Every structure is written in structure tokens, then in C-alpha cells.
Structure 1
Amino acid sequence: MKPDYTFLLIEDNVIDQLVTTKLLKNTLGHFNINIVSNGKEGIEWLYEYQSNFSESLIILLDIKMPEMDGFEFLSHYELLPDEVKSTTEIFMLSSTIDSNDIKKANENSYVKKLFSKPLPVQQFKEMIAD
């Protein structure tokens, strides 16, 4: 894995936040992870920190969240400057079995992969090491 990644975890469930963070740290070691609780906070974080990016950004995005869900986040994300989007990879995390959600995630051009929770860290590590 490249050492110059920053992570943004957009997840409303505190237990899932802890589990995902622990899995990542156990597998990837030291890195910078930022956690927000919904898509709206994720967009606000991106606008606030976009000029400070010296690293690539990996977003781990939940689908079902209050206030702004993962798909609404993606609609707002589309409006961000290309400089931000060109250095960002988005992976969706979900426990959904809704075939419409799965199809929507797989068809979204910004989503690199939809993973079931908990995050399969070895597969994830291989994908970001490329």
C-alpha cells in the first residue's frame, strides 16, 4: 500500500466505525483516518479539506445513513472539482441485500467496489496496492 493515503470513513453506526478502523489499522498499520457520520458531513469535510490534500484520498462510504445517504453523497460528490475526484477512490460498505442498492452501487462510475460489512481488509488491501 502506498503510504500517502488519507482515509475518510462515512458511517453513521459507531460500532461499524470502530470495527472498520480496527480492521484497517491491524492490516495496514499507521495511516490518517477521518470519520464522519453521514454523507452531508462527508461533503462538508471534503470542501473544508480539499485544498490540503497532498495525498490520495480513499473514501469508505456506507449506503444507509440519516440526513444524507451514500447515493445522495455521490450526487453531491459529482459536483466537486476534478482535482479532488482525480485523487480519490470510493469504496462502498454495506450490509444491504437490496438488489436495487447493489445494482446502483455497481453502476456508479465513482464507486470502485461495493464491499459487504465487515470490510474484507485483505481484498481491500490488494485493490489499493495496485
Structure 2
Amino acid sequence: MKVPSQFIVVDDDSVNNLVCRYTIASFAPAARIQLFTNPGKALASIETEFGDEAEDLNATLFLDINMPEINGWEFLDAFSLFPEKLRAQINIIILSSSIDPEDLRNAENHPLVRGYYSKPLSKETLHQIYNVNNERA
């Protein structure tokens, strides 16, 4: 997977979001980073920003599973209703502290999920996701 120019983090934990911002910025300094503690607002923003047919954006979305208003699986259900062109612009990766084997199985079998990683996000995880040689970091 190519390193995107944009990252979106959807997690109700604002401290984790700041960790993600710092880690992503140190990995991809020129990348645009959006943080959302409210999954509903994230969905609305994605629909607005990525819904433009004229623009072809590329982003990675780090999604938490356990959130109070809309959990990660409900987020994926709503995201799956977006047009294919929009969905194709965003690679979704679960970033969770869940150790529930069912969550891992669900992520592995979900057509929109490209990976499942444990919190906190690290540069090593980013290197793994994008197959970047650690020596170049």
C-alpha cells in the first residue's frame, strides 16, 4: 500500500488521537491529519470531502472499535453505504485495544478493513502497513 497524503483517525479517546497525530506526523510530515472523537462527524466530513467526483483523494483511516455513540462496526456499516468511488479512496485500518478474538475475526473477514493493529499507533506499525524499510525512517 502506498503511503497516503491524508490520514483520518476516528477514536473517542482524545489522548490516543494526539498520539496518532504525533506518530503519523513523524512518519509522513507532509500528510494532512484529521482527528475525530465523534464517529458521526467523521462520516459527515468524509462524505463531504471525498464525495466530489472530480477529485481523486487517497487516505488511510484508523478506526477504533469500542466507541460509545457509534462503534467501529456500525461506522463500517454506514461507510459501506457510500458510493464505490468514495469508498475506494479510503483504506480503513482497525486500531484498537480490544483483545476480543471475535473482533479480530470480524476485521479479517470485513471487506472494507485492510488490517487490524493494537493501540497505540507506532512508527513500526506504520512501516509494517506501508512496507517501508525501517532504515529509511
Fold shared by both chains (TM-score > 0.5): yes
Q: For 1:129 and 1:99, how far apart are their aligned partners in 2?
A: 25
Any idea what the Cα deviations from partners look like across 1:73-99, whole Å, max 9, x if unmatched? 000111101101112101110011111
SS in 1 for 2:95: strand
Does 1:70 find its partner at 2:72? Answer: yes
SS in 1 for 2:99: coil
Does 1:84 find its partner at 2:89? Answer: no
Partner of 2:112: 110
Higher mean C-alpha displacement, 115-124 vs 27-36: 115-124
Question: Where does the alignment leave 5 or more consecutive residues of structure 2 unmatched?
Answer: 133-137
Q: Which amino acid aligns with 1:124?
A: L
Report the structure number with the largest CA radius of gyration. Answer: 2
TM-score under structure 1 length normalisation: 0.88
Is the contact between residue 90 and residue 112 of structure 1 (CA under 8 Å) also seen in structure 2? Answer: yes
In the alignment of these two chains, the number of paired residues is 130
Q: For 1:51 and 1:81, how far apart are their aligned partners in 2?
A: 8
Any idea what the Cα deviations from partners look like across 1:9-37, whole Å, max 9, x if unmatched? 10110110111111111122221011111
Q: For 1:125 and 1:39, how far apart are their aligned partners in 2?
A: 26
Higher mean C-alpha displacement, 51-60 vs 84-93: 51-60
Q: CA RMSD in A?
A: 2.0
Higher mean C-alpha displacement, 36-45 vs 61-70: 36-45
Any idea what the Cα deviations from partners look like across 1:85-120, whole Å, max 9, x if unmatched? 112101110011111112111211111000000113
SS in 2 for 1:79: coil
Any idea what the Cα deviations from partners look like across 1:39-95, whole Å, max 9, x if unmatched? 222211111212355420211101111110110000011110110111210111001
TM-score under structure 2 length normalisation: 0.84
Q: For 1:2 and 1:114, how far apart are their aligned partners in 2?
A: 17
Question: Where does the alignment leave 5 or more consecutive residues of structure 1 unmatched?
Answer: none
Partner of 1:51: 51
Partner of 2:97: 95
Is the contact between residue 6 and residue 60 of structure 2 (CA under 8 Å) also seen in structure 1? Answer: yes
